Amino acid sequence: MSGAQGWDDIEDWGRAREGWLRRYLKLRNGIPGHDTIRRVFDALSPRQLAACFSSWMAQVCPAVSGLVIAIDGKSLRGAARPACGLRALHQVSAYAAEYGLTLGPLACQEKSNEITAIGELLPTLALEGAVVTIDAMGCQTAIAEQIVDGGGDYVLAVKDNQPHLAHALRDFFGMLDAPGYPDRQTCVHETLDKGHGRIETRRCTAVGDLDWLATLGLKERCKKITSVACIDSSRVIGSKTETDRRYVISSLPADSERILHAVRMHWGIENGLHWCLDVTFGEDACPIRLRNAALNLSLPRRAAMNLFRADQSRSMSLPKNARPLPGTRTTSPISFICGKFDAPALGVAGRLPIICRNPAILSRRLTKYDAAGNAKALAPITRMPPAAWRGRCSSPGKVSSNARRFIRQTLLSPALPNREFLSLEPP
């Protein structure tokens, strides 16, 4: 929540809050350095840490009966290293949609996929009485069996990764009300939502008579399949109308209202978890590339989000962007552009070199905060030709040695003879 994105940020936060931390930790050797923090995070086993997280949440949120548990995957795009042939890491999370809490995350193995990870995550969850929703990737016989054996129910999306089942559902619902076909008892529920300049209508049709599915030899593929449902949705924005049709199978009775509620709650994992991790915590932009460390650092983000939402003492929503602690180094646009050299590390007396195509956009992001964390006026940005920076680099007292080496090797390279630099003036 303090906006830390790298090891230096964590060290700075610890030093700024050392007095508070000593109330809970002995810290015989003081605050550890950023290299020590990095080695510890990389040495920890992501699976063991995830198991501890799930055990903690099982004590915090033991009662899930009747709740919707959405399971979905998310990539840590910042951990990808294409030059080394390493793809982005992938995690599967279980999310209590009504509470907004992450119950348990699990990382996919390098050469595995979501299906295997979901099968390993389910035994760690207390599923008694819960309704588990998974997208089409989780529509597997073994996964449905695990959920039922754990005492829960499932609502699984069906798409073309299960071609025979998807084709059978399309034909069935397409001919459901056609003349000449037997009448079947259906349960229909419809909702209407208005807001943000759009009108959304959702209509769920659930059927519990599945003798036709048994005739096709498909019913036994999913344990305790009790109903199938078709969800038709339409969205009207101005004069434009969009329509969509989705199919699900479920172990719930043919209760269209309950099934539609579960399907709607499944999208909470996208809006309430994945979106917040990327926008508020900047997970995809995190510069940490070490595989274990990137996975382990994702758990404190989820823990912080759980603690924030579980705090009922005040009514607050998550901030749009995690605000850095005043006085600490941050992985801001300056740090990325200047090769992780920020203002204190550069030791620049007055100016900071920044390469940017659009100074207006950059100026809106260079916000300064006072000791109370309140935003102050933006520092003005001016232009400085390369010759001026060459002159300043020759003055030992104004620029640190690391910064001079970085500027000479990168910013003042002969390959960039006409490059102009933006410089940050102090307020």
The tens digit of pLDDT for each residue in 136-185 reads 988 888 999 999 999 999 999 999 888 888 999 999 898 887 787 778 88
Compare 295 and 344 and report the one with higher pLDDT.
Answer: 295
DSSP state of 398: T
What pLDDT score was predicted for residue 420? 41
Helix 291-310 / helix 46-60 crossing angle, nearest 10 deg: 10
Q: Is the pLDDT of residue 394 over 80?
A: no
- The mean pLDDT of the chain is 76
Q: Is the pLDDT of residue 411 over 60?
A: no
Q: Is the pLDDT of residue 263 over 90?
A: yes
| Burial status of residue 335 (CB atoms within 10 A of its CB: 0-12, 13-18, 19 or more) | buried
pLDDT band at 111 (very low <50, low <70, confident <90, very high): low
pLDDT, tens digit, for every residue of 273-306?
A: 999 888 888 888 887 888 889 899 999 899 988 8
pLDDT band at 99 (very low <50, low <70, confident <90, very high): confident
Interatomic CA distance for residues 384 and 35, integer angstroms = 35
- Closest-CA residue to 386 (of 420, 416, 415): 420
What pLDDT score was predicted for residue 317? 65
Share of the chain above pLDDT 90, in %: 30
pLDDT band at 385 (very low <50, low <70, confident <90, very high): low
Compare 186 and 222 and report the one with higher pLDDT.
Answer: 186
What pLDDT score was predicted for residue 401? 54
* Domains of the chain listed by start with CATH number: 7-310 (3.90.350), 333-424 (no CATH)
pLDDT band at 126 (very low <50, low <70, confident <90, very high): confident
Q: Is the pLDDT of residue 362 over 60?
A: no
Interatomic CA distance for residues 296 and 37, integer angstroms = 12
pLDDT, tens digit, for every residue of 73-89?
A: 998 887 887 777 778 88
- Specify the pTM: 0.71
Among the residue ranges 56-60, 69-73, 185-189, the one predicted with the least confidence is 56-60
- Closest-CA residue to 423 (of 342, 354, 377): 354
Report residue 66 as tokens. Answer: 């009747």
Q: How many other C-beta atoms can be found within 10 angstroms of the C-beta atom of residue 160?
A: 9
What pLDDT score was predicted for residue 335? 33
Interatomic CA distance for residues 185 and 352, integer angstroms = 72
